[in-house]
Structure 1
Amino acid sequence: MHGSLRGTRLAAALASVLMLFVTVAACGSSGSPRAGSGKTTAASKAFPVTIAHKYGSTTVEARPQRIVTVGLTDQDAVLALGEVPVGTTEWLGGYKGAIGPWATGRLGGAKAPTVLKDTGTGPQTEKIAALRPDLILAVYGGLTKSQYETLSKFAPVVAQPKEYNDFGVPWQQQTEIIGKALGQEAKAKSLVDGVEKDFKAATEKNPAFARSTGVVATPYEGIFVFGSQDPRSRVLTDLGFTLPADLDKVIGDEFGANISKERTDLLDTDAIVWIASDPVKDEAKLHKDALYGDLKVAKQNREVYLKESSDYGNAVSFVTVLSLPYMLERLVPQLAAAVDGDPATEVAAPAA
């Protein structure tokens, strides 16, 4: 009885959304055009393109005019490629248009995107339909198959790639997948090459990174450690650091997990990056815990504490082609101080 009623309501809701989409679309494409919508470039000649992902493949027939990003950081790649999405999904920072300070310059004079929210039940389907998208990007995301199928009724959807955990796509692949979807593969590759040069310069300047172990964690409901497929951990490995050997064995097939007291040893690395809600209070609390406070990484001042709600902290979690240069400028000096071999060296917070 209850199952039948829920099914009826779901069908009615979906029909309502479809009707909304058809009605709005019939009204034409009035409203602010996306940045660069007047361009007719070589990008337009790249279509159609077909992109494989977790739920099969999606073909984009023509150059997108109204892009909605459901992936939590996909907007940065879109902006880096010279386009402005009409809708973005809120994740960190509460920024206007869900555009971080490292990316706002890419808006130009365009209107900030409409911000959608994932309330824990998935994308806001009706609001996405009302934006009349012709491409929905969910590359850095965790769409379920049913969510993918529902969104596909309104526009082509590029879901997360199957090769990685949900929310585990590397920033390089994220940028290149979105570049292909926008008909700009060459530009996307060029953008990736540029940021990879920043990483190379950092590793050449700091050879100690290649001899060091590191891990990223947060004091969330105990201690939460990010695994090798999480973009934050990949920043360390891209800089030359080695992650703890048992990390993924303990975490399992997830981007991260809370660890037990018995596995605090995973934190005893040459450097640890803490993403903390209150760095001062969290550091004091961690050091009062005998299991953590007695580790060499704590005793020898090899910790990097970031405030998670700061622009810098948000950039560390975003890990995109636009946020990385902003973040590396701040993080690399801190990591260098942490692994310089002198416990007296202060790991100072960035000036700004």
Structure 2
Amino acid sequence: MRYRRPAALLTVALAGALTLAGCGDGDSGGKDGADAKAGGSGTRSVTDANGKKVDVPAAPKKVVTLSEPTLDAALALGAHPIGATSGRGQSGVADYLAPKAKDAQIVANTAEPDLDKLAALRPDLILLDETVGAKRVQDKLSRIAPTVLTAKLNAPWRDAFAATADALGKKADGQKWLDTFDARLKAVKNGLGANAGAVTSVIRWQNGAPSVVGKGKGHVGDTLTALGLKRPQGQQGESSGHSEPVSLERLETIDGDWLFLGALGDRAAGEKGLKEATAVPNFGKLKAVEKHHVVVIDGSAWNSSGGPLAAEAVLTDVEKALAKKS
């Protein structure tokens, strides 16, 4: 479905956005005072993922995030977006973000935004990336409010996070978050004990079969690599898509010392997926299953497009399952 914008609504939304952008007080809400007070004009310039300069409010108050990574990053930085996109396969925001995103209205899905709903919110800043279809209507979004494309498709999640922090005027806060996360990564890695270097498989169980997720430099692959954990041969390298289906005749390719299994939803959906998997012939013969090394995960975080809070969820699950266990 495509959405059409009444001309009058667009004019009102654009006028409101320009008014909001010009009334910033220079307080970024973070520790980037120099950035937030650029020229003392209430606006500052950032460079988006396409190399385009965008003038954004120095202290944005009404932010709309049109992708999981930008919503995730904004919430990690203490911002409270007023509009957001629904999670993959979900009617609301991704389940792992829901507790922090109670104030966000759904104005898009991963395929496209609802421009009328979005304009009605009168945002002063719109954030998105190439993980969503909204990238195709960036010119229309820019007529509603300053719009920043934070990252290209498959960009490292850390770079995408840093770009979102910069757009929000919270660059220093973003770096502080990463420093804290990296310190915890190191501590968890040092506590893996006998599981150091373990072969770790990550799959999503959906429609009666598994799919590989978390390959490459996304929040899952990056976190597991940083912990020194290995991946099965079929889960190495970059992914050809968000997920890669695996034939039931090749179940052995998803085996490992540990198997992290989720679904397209929360942890309860993952439990249902595991129940379905155990009914499949040969699943019970996997080494990870025989050793009781199957960990049900919150798929809304592990299978998401990524972000700092998603990476934190991965780290927490790995720590609970593998740290100091044989």
Asked if Structure 1 and Structure 2 have the same fold, meaning a TM-score greater than 0.5 normalized by the shorter chain, the answer is yes
Q: 1:205 aligns with which of 173, 191, 194?
A: 191
Give the match's secondary structure for 1:200.
helix
CA distance in 1: counterparts of 2:133 and 2:269, whole angstroms: 31
Partner of 1:157: 147
Contact 1:69 1:136 in 2 (8 A): yes
In our comparison, the structure showing a higher alpha carbon Rg is 1
CA distance in 1: counterparts of 2:48 and 2:109, whole angstroms: 27
Deviation at 1:280, TM superposition (A): 5.0
Give the match's secondary structure for 2:212.
strand
Deviation at 1:321, TM superposition (A): 3.1
Deviation at 1:87, TM superposition (A): 2.1
Task: Flag the 1:52–1:241 CA change in 2: closer, same or farther, 3 A.
Answer: same
* Number of matched pairs: 307
Task: Flag the 1:305–1:263 CA change in 2: closer, same or farther, 3 A.
Answer: same
Q: 1:60 aligns with which of 49, 55, 59?
A: 55
Counterpart of 1:182 in structure 2: which amino acid? L
Task: Flag the 1:49–1:253 CA change in 2: closer, same or farther, 3 A.
Answer: farther
Alignment of 1:198-277 (within 5 A): 198-221=184-207, 222-226=209-213, 227-247=215-235, 252-276=239-263, 277=268
Task: Flag the 1:333–1:123 CA change in 2: closer, same or farther, 3 A.
Answer: same
Partner of 2:124: 134
Corresponding position: 1:292 with 2:280: no
Q: Which one is further off, 287-296 or 264-273?
A: 287-296
Q: 1:77 aligns with which of 36, 58, 73?
A: 73
Task: Flag the 1:214–1:330 CA change in 2: closer, same or farther, 3 A.
Answer: closer
Cα deviation per residue 1:130-151 (whole Å; 9 max; x = unaligned)?
2222221114732354222221
Deviation at 1:192, TM superposition (A): 0.8
Alignment of 1:84-95 (within 5 A): 84-91=80-87, 94=92
**TM-score for both structures, normalised by structure 1:** 0.72
Cα deviation per residue 1:307-343 (whole Å; 9 max; x = unaligned)?
x4xxxx5454565434555664444121347x62xxx
Deviation at 1:304, TM superposition (A): 0.5
State, as a whole percentage, how many aligned pairs show the same letter: 25
Partner of 1:45: 37
Contact 1:225 1:256 in 2 (8 A): yes
Task: Flag the 1:169–1:160 CA change in 2: closer, same or farther, 3 A.
Answer: farther
CA distance in 2: counterparts of 1:212 and 1:235, whole angstroms: 14
CA distance in 1: counterparts of 2:132 and 2:139, whole angstroms: 13
Corresponding position: 1:174 with 2:169: no
**TM-score for both structures, normalised by structure 2:** 0.77
Contact 1:176 1:185 in 2 (8 A): yes
CA distance in 2: counterparts of 1:114 and 1:295, whole angstroms: 42
Contact 1:78 1:85 in 2 (8 A): yes
CA distance in 2: counterparts of 1:78 and 1:37, whole angstroms: 13
CA distance in 2: counterparts of 1:326 and 1:42, whole angstroms: 32
CA distance in 1: counterparts of 2:80 and 2:273, whole angstroms: 38
Deviation at 1:274, TM superposition (A): 0.5
Give the match's secondary structure for 1:85.
coil
Mark the runs of 5 or more structure 1 residues left unpaired by the alignment. Answer: 1-5, 105-111, 341-352
Contact 1:217 1:224 in 2 (8 A): yes
CA distance in 2: counterparts of 1:98 and 1:287, whole angstroms: 26
Counterpart of 1:51 in structure 2: which amino acid? T
Deviation at 1:180, TM superposition (A): 1.1
Counterpart of 1:223 in structure 2: which amino acid? P
Cα deviation per residue 1:77-108 (whole Å; 9 max; x = unaligned)?
3244343323233326947999533x47xxxx
Counterpart of 1:100 in structure 2: which amino acid? A
- Bigger relative CO (Cα 8 Å, ≥ 6 apart): 2
Contact 1:72 1:89 in 2 (8 A): yes
Deviation at 1:58, TM superposition (A): 4.1
Contact 1:203 1:209 in 2 (8 A): no
Cα deviation per residue 1:119-165 (whole Å; 9 max; x = unaligned)?
46411211211222222111473235422222122223222522x42
CA distance in 1: counterparts of 2:159 and 2:118, whole angstroms: 25
Mark the runs of 5 or more structure 2 residues left unpaired by the alignment. Answer: none
CA distance in 1: counterparts of 2:104 and 2:316, whole angstroms: 30
Task: Flag the 1:118–1:144 CA change in 2: closer, same or farther, 3 A.
Answer: closer
Q: 2:98 aligns with which of 83, 89, 100?
A: 100
Partner of 2:294: 303
CA distance in 2: counterparts of 1:25 and 1:281, whole angstroms: 45
Deviation at 1:223, TM superposition (A): 1.0
Give the match's secondary structure for 2:308.
coil
